[in-house]
Structure 1
Amino acid sequence: MTISLKPRSDLTMTKPSILIDLIINIDQYYPIPQRICHFLGIEDIIALTKTSRILLMLYRSLLKTQWNINARLQRFFRDPVAFRNLQAQTGLLLNTVDAIKRDYSYAFSIQFDRETPVQLVDLTSIFFFDFFHRQASRYPGIYRSEIVVREGSNAEAILKYLEDQGYVRVHSNGRVTPSAHGDDVAVVNQTLLTQAATLHHPEIFVDEVTYSLITAQLKCLLFTRWGNFITWNKAYCVFPKHNVMKKESYLLQDPQSDENLLRSHLLQEDDVAPMALHWDYGYSWNERSADGYALTCPRRVGDRNSWIIELDTSGVSQPHGSFDAAVQLTGFRLKRMHNDEMSYYTMDLDILTSPSLRYTYSIALPCSNRDQFRFWRTLKNQLAAITFVQLKSLSVDERPSNWDVITQAPHDVYRLLREVGFEIPTRWLFYDDKVTEYLKRHVTRLGLDNRS
């Protein structure tokens, strides 16, 4: 028997002729596909979308209805569009602990660059959209979210906005997150705010970091499962193949460093198996499986191994500069570490930051690739020279107080400016466009796009 998958054109019809009509005609039978999609697993959605071209449109339909970002944000903010404009202005990240868990009350999931939902990455990415899910087992009836923002005026703007929304500060504690990169990725303060008087008691943690939001987000991960975040216009899942499809979450810290913290987070993993190392880690690079190589090869946040979903940006003003490119070009890799008794992975990256850049960039530097080291060192030296020239063009009164020291060590200008808290003047030039173009050419030249 042949069954036509062509959607019905008669919208006045009240009784579906075939089961597939219930999903295709989402406008007519919305409550039914809503419940169907709620109970479908990722593998079911993939199989369903492969059956016909018509079903590819289900993704776009659900983005505007069941998985609408503004509807999800409305659990926390009265005006989601106003919040997202503030997000674009300050560059803050929305963070989620769980990329795939679906609670008992809400269908689906949350925590850069495709136009059509044809690629597999788009079709499956709908399930990491549970963003502000309710953690029913540990926090009954409570919505939780985490915001990562740069310290200073941006953090002050976010905290003021939340208080205007009715949130009350519960506590604020300074905590410096241990990091191989020091102040560049340190979380210097965390504030908990809540709306205790509302039905679901939404809670928001605001993490203030020194400079780089993306690198702080990556370096502070305890598990690969937590590698999910939302910018002003896109949602990212950095380790979808292992976390979502294979249901494996790899540890990204010393297993013996904080037993209580580790245990408390493992209890939230449910059906996801905690892992220390991939089964292939003992093999040479040439002998490793594609799965094992994909986990530890040099990566970028915007590469083909990530799941990226475009959000509806209606009413949201685009931020200045090349913020999207800075996020997508952020490089990293999982590096094997070991203590006296066991091995584990850690997030490895090298940071590029400069007073002549609006945003911070990073790259994964494999020990065997001298070309990358040379490229990275040259780029840092060039930015140091640009910054020194810009400082020299300022009047004597505008220059930093330690100008004499800087003239003796111009290559170290970034650190010396931070020591005196130098504020960038209004007529300062930023070179993000040039740097992102340079980084893209470098990625193409080394074939990193083909490997990742």
Structure 2
Amino acid sequence: MPPSSNFPVRSPLSLYEWTLERQDQPELAMFFYNQFPVYSLFFPACSPGALFKFARTCQAAHCSVQSWMAKAYAINPHLSRFFFDPVRFRNLQARTGSLISGSNALQFLDRTFYENSDLDLYVHSVHAIEVGIHLMKMEGYVYLGGHASLLPASGTTDTDEFMVDEMEARETLYSAGAIHDVLRFMRPGPNGSRLNLQLILTITSCFETVMRFHSTCVMNLISWDYAVALYPRATFELSINQRCHIIPFSLFPSEIARAESDATAAIEKYRARGKVDIPWSEREESKLAFFEGVHRYVGDNFCWTLPLDTTGIKPWRSEPRSPPRLTPDLVFNNGWTMVVHQERMTPAYSVLTSPLLKYNYICPSESIRNVWVTVLRRMTEYSGQSPPFWPDASDLHARGTE
């Protein structure tokens, strides 16, 4: 983890990691708080912050909130709309480090539902073939193609055609910045509906892509074991949104204009859903909800970190630690800083890469990154061994996947 006073810690908002000493409770409170038909009437109207405050009033309230949240934030029923077997999919997440983000993660944490919404699945490009084949073979999705695909509009169920497209996609650069391409999948849903899923191939890391979103209300993610909101007070307590600068790799004016237009349309869509965006200069107290200039880390005290039920999930299996490696947490080992430029916020970070690391991470400043570069270099020198070999996507497919 980055060497800073802002060392990542699990959020105190996590009810699963917070306990109260058992004390005698008033009989009326015990009766009231232990009745699911009673508290299930008013808990749905509470924000996450209100629930946590109520849970801290007494033991009975704490237990009732825990019981209700276990049902309200049940991840498997939430994912069952897009996946026949959510547990099998989450095992794939654990194996590949894939993240769900965007509107689907927002709906889960906000306990709401957007009609005709899709699912965005962010994947390290080295694992894209494995994840795509899983979607087609195990989940019944039809592959519709990517940014420059020549497939017919009806798509294909041929995994070989998908693999050819995926390999070509890894050679391209999408205008959105931190991704190679967006590969589209579709599956018929209930009552004649259509389920759309986007497999997004990231260039450096899945989390860096989250940092390049158009605004803060969608800076939430779902991994195999946690759901995390990076700006929970702004998003869920105040229902406000802050536009961020688009950081495209492309310098073509037409590409930049298109990215800006897409971002404006998305922000208007979330405004209609209750997440109000106003210029930075017009904010007063709400500025405090965005922690301008603060070194942030995933899972810090400003995040809302929600543990998920992991029954049936096998934890990610790391490679042998020779030479020694850091704990490969692809979510919590990331940090950033938000700075304000004109009327928008801009995420500031520095990408950390090393032969010792299978994946890339982001640090909240270049100085912190430089410290880690030195530490990793000395680890290699101290071990006296060559860095491990990390297979690419073709190697993984050649030897087969679990």
Compute the TM-score of the two structures, normalised by the length of structure 1: 0.63
The structure 1 residue matched to 2:231, chosen from 212, 220, 239, is 239
Deviations 1:167-224 (A, max 9, x none): 1122312563568xxxxx7210211111125334222111011231212222x21101
What is the CA distance between 1:393 and its match in structure 2? Answer: 5.2
Q: Distance in 2 between matches of 1:323 and 1:143?
A: 35
Deviations 1:73-109 (A, max 9, x none): 1111111111111110001001132766xxxxxxxx4
What is the CA distance between 1:356 and its match in structure 2? Answer: 0.9
**Correspondence for 2:141:** 167
Q: Which amino acid aligns with 2:232?
A: P
What is the CA distance between 1:225 and its match in structure 2? Answer: 0.8
The structure 2 residue matched to 1:214, chosen from 198, 207, 228, is 207
Deviations 1:326-383 (A, max 9, x none): 422311011233xxxx442211101111121133222212xxxxxx72x532431453
Q: Distance in 2 between matches of 1:313 and 1:226?
A: 24
The structure 2 residue matched to 1:52, chosen from 58, 66, 75, is 58
C-alpha spacing 1:383/1:177, structure 2 compared with 1 (3 Å) = farther
- Is the 2:214–2:267 contact (alpha carbons within 8 Å) kept by the matching residues of 1? no
Q: Which runs of 5+ in 2 are unaligned?
A: 1-24, 148-168, 248-255, 319-325, 397-402
C-alpha spacing 1:385/1:392, structure 2 compared with 1 (3 Å) = same
**Correspondence for 1:61:** 67
**Which residues in structure 2 correspond to 1:34-183 (within 5 Å)?**
34=40, 36-42=42-48, 45=51, 48-97=54-103, 109-110=107-108, 128=109, 130=111, 134-136=113-115, 142-152=116-126, 154-164=127-137, 165-173=139-147, 174=169, 176-177=173-174
Q: Which amino acid aligns with 2:59?
A: R
Q: Distance in 1 between matches of 2:130 and 2:395?
A: 19
> SS at 1:332's partner residue?
strand
Q: Which amino acid aligns with 1:334?
A: M
| Structure 1 outlier segments of 4+, above 6 Å | 388-392, 420-424
**Bigger relative CO (Cα 8 Å, ≥ 6 apart):** 2
- Is the 2:105–2:222 contact (alpha carbons within 8 Å) kept by the matching residues of 1? no
The structure 1 residue matched to 2:340, chosen from 336, 339, 347, is 336
- Is the 2:205–2:359 contact (alpha carbons within 8 Å) kept by the matching residues of 1? yes
Q: Distance in 1 between matches of 2:241 and 2:378?
A: 43
**Correspondence for 1:205:** 198
What is the CA distance between 1:254 and its match in structure 2? Answer: 5.3
Compute the TM-score of the two structures, normalised by the length of structure 2: 0.70
**Correspondence for 1:357:** 357
- Is the 1:143–1:201 contact (alpha carbons within 8 Å) kept by the matching residues of 2? no
**Correspondence for 1:272:** 275
Q: Distance in 1 between matches of 2:299 and 2:227?
A: 11
C-alpha spacing 1:52/1:227, structure 2 compared with 1 (3 Å) = same
**Which residues in structure 2 correspond to 1:343-382 (within 5 Å)?**
343-365=343-365, 373=367, 376-382=369-375
Matched, 1:309 2:306: yes
C-alpha spacing 1:168/1:290, structure 2 compared with 1 (3 Å) = closer
Q: Distance in 2 between matches of 1:192 and 1:145?
A: 10
> SS at 1:299's partner residue?
strand
> SS at 1:362's partner residue?
strand
Q: Distance in 2 between matches of 1:422 and 1:74?
A: 30
Deviations 1:257-297 (A, max 9, x none): 5453133112222322213426689xxxxxx9992782331
Q: Distance in 1 between matches of 2:117 and 2:361?
A: 32
C-alpha spacing 1:300/1:178, structure 2 compared with 1 (3 Å) = farther
Structure whose CA Rg is larger = 1
C-alpha spacing 1:294/1:278, structure 2 compared with 1 (3 Å) = farther
What is the CA distance between 1:68 and its match in structure 2? Answer: 1.0
Let me know the Cα RMSD of the aligned residues.
3.8
What is the CA distance between 1:66 and its match in structure 2? Answer: 3.4
- Is the 1:323–1:359 contact (alpha carbons within 8 Å) kept by the matching residues of 2? no
**Correspondence for 2:292:** 295
C-alpha spacing 1:422/1:387, structure 2 compared with 1 (3 Å) = farther
Q: Which amino acid aligns with 1:328?
A: F
Q: Which amino acid aligns with 1:193?
A: F
**Correspondence for 2:263:** 262
> SS at 1:37's partner residue?
helix
What is the CA distance between 1:248 and its match in structure 2? Answer: 1.9
